[in-house]
Amino acid sequence: MKIRQKEVLYDLLKKSPEYIDEIERNGVNNLNSESVEKIIDILLTAFTNYGLEDDEPNKYGLEIEDLIDIINDAE
The reported pLDDT for the residue numbered 26 is 93
Q: Which residues contact 18 (CB under 8 A, 6 or more apart)?
A: none
Count of CB atoms situated within 10 Å of the CB of 64? 27
* The total number of structural domains that make up the chain: 1
Q: Return the number of other C-beta atoms located less than 10 Å from residue 42's C-beta.
A: 18
Q: How far apart are CA 68 and CA 64, in angstroms?
A: 6
3-state secondary structure of 27: coil
Give the pLDDT score at 75: 61
CB contact at 8 A, 74 and 19: no
58-72 tens-digit pLDDT: 999 999 999 999 999
Instruction: Tell me if the pTM is above 0.85.
Output: yes
Q: Which domain holds residue 23?
A: 3-73
